[in-house]
């Protein structure tokens, strides 16, 4: 019931959508409740402007130059809280004057820029009017007369170059303005898709929320089934836990006893090997000694032959005769003590099968789960009652779910959402129509600039192509004259249009620039939310406005910034809106009432394990008998001394090979053949007698070393094994109750832990997955960051930036165009110079053609 109450509350908190990301992944050994069902949402609250983003960054940099001050949080708070206009003297109060001055100081960059724009708007038409009237009076370059100067070509080229550069800059500006205008129109047309995706996600959320609630409630069955399963298997489960706990001491003790039983068998085998090996070595060395003696006698007889007296054989025979003393045995095994008494005692020990006794201990200990099963049948009798309690809890949750008006709330929200969507859909064509009018108006403004540029470019083209430097000002060609007229037409239209352009620039600059600095930038760094979170700002009686709206308690610390940040991180609405102040889930999700009966039933478990016998007294006595078998009294040093010796003093194979080699040094004959025969005989003795003796010595060596290791501190080892077995037996007999109580408590905690896991999972799901409010942040981002800032503000700011730059460069373009037109247009009169004084320079003198020049004597230099 408590769980369902918490889930229902989420539906009353508002219509939100959630792009749920599964976050719960249970670690091994815990209940797996799976993932809360969720669908994928289409809305992506992110805008990438593309190539025009470079222009946006340039405009942002320009705005920073105009307004480098940081966001005035304190100033806005004071202005919002200060009341103006209630009485005649409000504006004259010192605090209001200070606030006004602070606002002016913050806006000084915009104020100065706007003032310059207003000055442009006022002065440029006035200057144009004066310029027009002046030219009508044949002044200000209006008179069709041009004075000739030596640097005329240089001036003409400079004026043309400057005008061309100014025209290029104006062209770039109008292109920026056109691109921004078109970008805004494209984004407005594409905004419908983004809005539709938001509405689609809202519908998915409304349809998906009941399924999420049902899933959380249904997972109670997972907890209930796991608890009942463990209760039905309380004997095996609890018995296994008790066995594992006791086994930490019991199993090592039994393993040590079983190892000792194996050591007894190995000792018997080693003693038998020692006894047999000694007997074999004693007999073999005696037989080997006799055979070597015979070999020496026969060799002596052979060396006594007269052939050895010959000069060639005497030295060889003497060497062989001197080496005969090496043919003798080296190891003497006849004096080694026997091990028959120790073997007899070990055989007596083995009459009792110690391994079988240890295995009985293992079997008895492995019956622990069965003993626990037999002694916990009272728990099984309580399982039906516990099951009925758990079933009643689930039934109450289901019943309460059906009583809640979830579907009614969803239906109402769906109707509201459908109406909102229909309103937006109906409003979109109107918005697109108004955007078309806006686009057309901006296009007309751009066309004004383009018209001026066309005249300037045509004037430069015609003037440059048609100009003839050999022609006098009065005889210039038609093309050149047309170029000059185009330039003056561009000047005229510049005066006519420039103030209109600047009016639009000033209005959009002040509006768009302040939107960027006071809305977009503080929204990005969340300073705007900090202003909204100012106590008593939106409502002079509420400390926290959002908490007052939701909880009717303005003292709750709930801020716009925290809600937005939490929703941006896709946290649940319960966490984001701090709904614990309205509905404390920790108090309602109290499982003590559900687990009290289970705990009372389990606490009465009584288990007796005294029937388990790990090792009886016979087995212990058997171990003591083995420790007193006398194997530690064996003279291991005597054995090892003889074992480490070689069987013979000399290697018989080497002696035989050496004998045969010396025989080859003798002259061919009977002596040589006899010595080689003795060499073969020595080899045969080595293969038939020495090799078996060496194998017997190796076996004796292994057995003696095994006995030495086994006998080392044998009594201590046996006593340690018996002590370990006694300690384990004492644990079972005397302290098993404590282990059982401990394991029973842990078992009870495990059962209760299933419910705790469910509750924690529900809490985490409610906090992070159910009604996750990232779409709220997406809606805010879509409205402010994308629509207002990225679509509108950036485009408008780029538009006035381009159009304003073009308008400003119309001023130098006007000056250069007026100056340059004098060099392209056909003049009515020109200066006349004396040929002998100044030369003709390619110009005709007017008096030659009978043309009267009234300005010849004028001292005023005309344009």
pLDDT in tens, 603-623: 555 666 767 777 777 777 777
- Which of 649, 747, 738, 644 is closest to 698 using CA atoms? 644
Please indicate whether residue 788 or residue 732 has the higher confidence score (pLDDT): 788
Predicted confidence at residue 860, as pLDDT, reads 33
Ramachandran quadrant class, 858 (left: phi over 0; alpha: psi -120 to 50; beta: rest): beta
pLDDT in tens, 44-61: 766 777 888 899 899 999
Q: How confident is the model at residue 119 (pLDDT cuts 50, 70, 90)?
A: very high
Distances (CA, A) of 614 to 257, 332, 622, 625, 708: 10, 49, 15, 19, 30
Query: Beta strand 829-830 with 145-146: parallel, antiparallel or unpaired?
Result: parallel
Residue 179 pLDDT greater than 90, yes or no: yes
Predicted confidence at residue 145, as pLDDT, reads 53
Determine contact, residues 266/710, Cβ cutoff 8 Å. yes
Predicted confidence at residue 142, as pLDDT, reads 56
Determine contact, residues 758/34, Cβ cutoff 8 Å. no
Please list, residue by residue across 15-43, b when 16 or more beta carbons sit within 10 angstroms of its beta carbon and e when fewer do: bbbbbbeeeeeeeeeebebeebebeebeb
CA 452 to CA 224: how far, in whole Å?
Answer: 84
Predicted confidence at residue 166, as pLDDT, reads 92
Predicted confidence at residue 200, as pLDDT, reads 80
CA 323 to CA 343: how far, in whole Å?
Answer: 43
Nearest-5° Cα angle at 685, 684 to 690: 120
Range ranked top by mean pLDDT from 4-18, 489-503, 754-768: 489-503
Please indicate whether residue 188 or residue 345 has the higher confidence score (pLDDT): 188
Q: What ranges in 569-646 are assigned the alpha helix state H?
A: 573-576, 585-588, 592-603, 617-627, 636-643
When pLDDT is averaged across residues 500-519 and rounded to a whole number, the result is 91
Q: How many CA atoms lie within 13 A of 10 on its CB side?
A: 30
Mean pLDDT over the full length of the chain: 76
Q: Is 572 helix (H, G, I), strand (E, B) or coil?
A: strand
Predicted confidence at residue 177, as pLDDT, reads 93
Q: What are phi and psi of 145, to 5 degrees?
A: -140, 140
When pLDDT is averaged across residues 292-321 and rounded to a whole number, the result is 77
Residue 749 pLDDT greater than 60, yes or no: yes
Predicted confidence at residue 25, as pLDDT, reads 39
Continuous segment of H or E residues that includes residue 558 = none
pTM of the model: 0.62
Predicted confidence at residue 560, as pLDDT, reads 83
Q: Residue 732 burial (CB < 10 Å; 0-12/13-18/19+)?
A: buried
Query: Which of 75-84, 351-360, 693-702 is least confident?
Result: 75-84
Nearest-5° Cα angle at 466, 465 to 471: 135
Predicted confidence at residue 215, as pLDDT, reads 84
Q: What ranges in 67-144 are assigned the alpha helix state H?
A: 73-81, 94-106, 108-136
Residue 178 pLDDT greater than 90, yes or no: yes
Q: How confident is the model at residue 361 (pLDDT cuts 50, 70, 90)?
A: confident
Residue 641 pLDDT greater than 60, yes or no: yes
Q: How confident is the model at residue 503 (pLDDT cuts 50, 70, 90)?
A: very high
Q: What are phi and psi of 526, to 5 degrees?
A: 70, 10
- Among positive and negative, which fits the CA dihedral 74, 79, 81, 82? positive
Predicted confidence at residue 27, as pLDDT, reads 42
Q: How confident is the model at residue 446 (pLDDT cuts 50, 70, 90)?
A: very high
Q: What are phi and psi of 323, to 5 degrees?
A: -90, 0
Predicted confidence at residue 844, as pLDDT, reads 41
Predicted confidence at residue 164, as pLDDT, reads 92
Predicted confidence at residue 586, as pLDDT, reads 65
Residues ≥6 apart with Cβ < 8 Å to 92: none
pLDDT in tens, 198-230: 788 777 777 777 777 788 778 878 887 887 777
Determine contact, residues 459/484, Cβ cutoff 8 Å. yes
Predicted confidence at residue 606, as pLDDT, reads 61
Predicted confidence at residue 836, as pLDDT, reads 38
pLDDT in tens, 141-162: 655 656 666 677 788 889 889 9
Q: What ranges in 140-233 are assigned the alpha helix state H?
A: 152-218, 220-232
Please indicate whether residue 516 or residue 711 has the higher confidence score (pLDDT): 516
CA 408 to CA 448: how far, in whole Å?
Answer: 59
Residue 409 has a CB neighbour count (10 Å cut-off) of 17
Residue 688 pLDDT greater than 90, yes or no: no
Query: Which of 11-25, 263-277, 803-817 is least confident?
Result: 11-25
Predicted confidence at residue 273, as pLDDT, reads 80
Alpha-carbon Rg for the chain in angstroms:
57
DSSP-derived secondary structure for 731-786: IIIIIHHHHHHHHHHHHHHHHHHHHHHHHHHHHHHHHHTTTB-HHHHHHHIIIIII
pLDDT in tens, 397-413: 666 556 656 577 677 87
Please indicate whether residue 738 or residue 777 has the higher confidence score (pLDDT): 777
Q: How confident is the model at residue 42 (pLDDT cuts 50, 70, 90)?
A: confident
Predicted confidence at residue 380, as pLDDT, reads 58
Predicted confidence at residue 511, as pLDDT, reads 92
Residue 854 pLDDT greater than 70, yes or no: no
Residues ≥6 apart with Cβ < 8 Å to 379: 231, 234, 601, 602, 605
CA 545 to CA 158: how far, in whole Å?
Answer: 66
Q: How confident is the model at residue 845 (pLDDT cuts 50, 70, 90)?
A: very low
Determine contact, residues 213/7, Cβ cutoff 8 Å. yes
Residue 571 has a CB neighbour count (10 Å cut-off) of 21
Q: How confident is the model at residue 169 (pLDDT cuts 50, 70, 90)?
A: very high
């Amino acid at each position: 019931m408590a769980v369902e109450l918490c889930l229902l509350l989420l539906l009353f908190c508002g219509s939100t959508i959630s792009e749920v990301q599964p976050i719960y992944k249970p670690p091994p050994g815990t209940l797996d409740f799976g993932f809360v069902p969720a669908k994928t949402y289409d809305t992506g609250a992110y805008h990438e402007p593309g190539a025009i983003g470079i222009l946006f960054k340039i405009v942002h940099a320009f705005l920073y130059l105009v307004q480098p001050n940081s966001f005035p949080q304190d100033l806005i708070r004071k202005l919002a809280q200060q009341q103006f206009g209630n009485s005649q003297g409000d504006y004259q109060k010192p605090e209001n004057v200070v606030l006004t001055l602070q606002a002016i100081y913050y806006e000084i960059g915009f104020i100065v820029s706007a003032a310059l724009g207003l000055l442009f708007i006022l002065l440029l038409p006035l200057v144009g009017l004066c310029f027009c009237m002046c030219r009508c009076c044949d002044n200000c370059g209006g008179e069709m007369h041009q004075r000739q100067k030596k640097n005329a070509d240089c001036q003409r080229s400079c004026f043309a170059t400057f005008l061309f550069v100014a025209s290029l800059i104006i062209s770039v500006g109008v292109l920026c303005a056109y691109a921004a205008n078109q970008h805004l129109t494209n984004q407005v047309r594409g905004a419908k898709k983004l809005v539709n995706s938001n509405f689609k996600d809202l519908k998915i959320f409304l349809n998906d929320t009941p399924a999420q609630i049902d899933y959380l409630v249904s997972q109670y069955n997972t907890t209930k089934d796991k608890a009942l399963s463990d209760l039905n298997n309380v004997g095996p489960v609890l018995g296994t836990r008790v066995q594992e706990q006791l086994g930490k001491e019991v199993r090592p003790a039994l393993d040590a006893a079983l190892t000792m039983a194996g050591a007894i068998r190995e000792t018997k085998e080693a003693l038998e090997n020692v006894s047999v090996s000694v007997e074999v070595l004693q007999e073999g060395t005696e037989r080997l000694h006799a055979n070597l003696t015979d070999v020496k006698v026969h060799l002596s007889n052979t060396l006594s032959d007269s052939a050895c007296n010959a000069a060639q054989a005497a030295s060889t025979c003497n060497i062989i005769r001197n080496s005969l003393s090496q043919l003798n045995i080296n190891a003497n095994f006849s004096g080694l003590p026997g091990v028959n008494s120790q073997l007899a005692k070990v055989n007596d020990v083995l009459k009792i099968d110690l391994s079988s006794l240890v295995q009985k201990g293992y079997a008895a200990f492995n019956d622990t789960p069965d003993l626990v099963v037999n002694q916990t049948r009272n728990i099984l009798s309580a399982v039906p009652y516990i099951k009925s309690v758990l079933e009643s809890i689930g039934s109450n949750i289901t019943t309460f779910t059906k009583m809640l008006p979830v579907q009614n709330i969803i239906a109402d929200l769906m109707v509201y959402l459908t109406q909102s969507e229909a309103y937006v859909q109906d409003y979109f064509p109107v918005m697109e129509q108004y955007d078309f009018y806006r686009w057309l108006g901006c296009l007309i403004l751009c066309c004004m600039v383009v018209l001026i540029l066309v005249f300037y470019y045509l004037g430069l083209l015609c003037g440059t192509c048609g100009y003839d430097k050999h022609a006098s000002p009065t005889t210039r060609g038609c093309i050149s004259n047309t170029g000059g007229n185009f330039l003056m037409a561009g000047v005229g239209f510049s005066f006519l249009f420039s103030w209109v352009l600047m009016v639009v620039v000033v209005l959009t600059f002040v509006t768009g620039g302040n939107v960027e600095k006071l809305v977009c930038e503080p929204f990005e760094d969340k300073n705007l939310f900090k202003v909204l979170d100012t106590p008593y700002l939106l409502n002079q009686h509420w400390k926290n406005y959002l908490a007052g709206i939701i909880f009717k308690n303005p003292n709750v610390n709930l801020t716009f910034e925290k809600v937005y940040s939490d929703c941006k991180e896709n946290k649940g609405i319960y966490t984001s809106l701090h709904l614990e102040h309205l509905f404390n889930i920790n108090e309602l999700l109290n499982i003590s009432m559900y687990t009290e009966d289970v705990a009372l039933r389990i606490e009465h478990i009584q288990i007796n394990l005294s029937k388990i016998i790990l090792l009886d007294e016979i087995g212990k006595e058997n171990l003591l008998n083995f420790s007193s078998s006398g194997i530690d009294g064996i003279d291991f040093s005597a054995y090892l001394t003889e074992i480490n010796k070689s069987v013979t003093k000399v290697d018989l194979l080497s002696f035989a090979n050496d004998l045969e080699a010396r025989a080859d040094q003798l002259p061919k004959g009977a002596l040589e053949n006899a010595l080689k025969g003795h060499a073969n005989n020595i080899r045969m003795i080595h293969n038939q007698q020495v090799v078996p003796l060496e194998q017997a010595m190796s076996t004796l060596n292994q057995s003696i070393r095994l006995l030495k290791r086994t006998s080392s501190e044998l009594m201590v080892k046996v006593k340690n094994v018996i002590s370990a077995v006694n300690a384990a037996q004492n644990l079972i007999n005397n302290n098993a109750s404590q282990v059982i109580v401990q394991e029973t408590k842990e078992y009870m905690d495990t059962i209760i832990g299933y419910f705790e896991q469910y509750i924690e999972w529900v809490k985490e799901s409610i906090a992070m997955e159910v009604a996750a409010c990232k779409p709220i942040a997406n809606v805010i981002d879509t409205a402010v960051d994308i629509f207002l800032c990225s679509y509108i503000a950036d485009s408008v700011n780029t538009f006035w930036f381009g159009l304003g730059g073009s308008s400003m460069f119309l001023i130098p373009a006007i000056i250069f165009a007026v100056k340059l037109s004098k060099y392209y247009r056909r003049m009515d009169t020109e200066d006349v110079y004396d040929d002998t004084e100044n030369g003709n320079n390619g110009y005709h003198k007017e008096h030659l053609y009978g043309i009267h020049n009234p300005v010849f004597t004028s001292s005023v230099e005309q344009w």
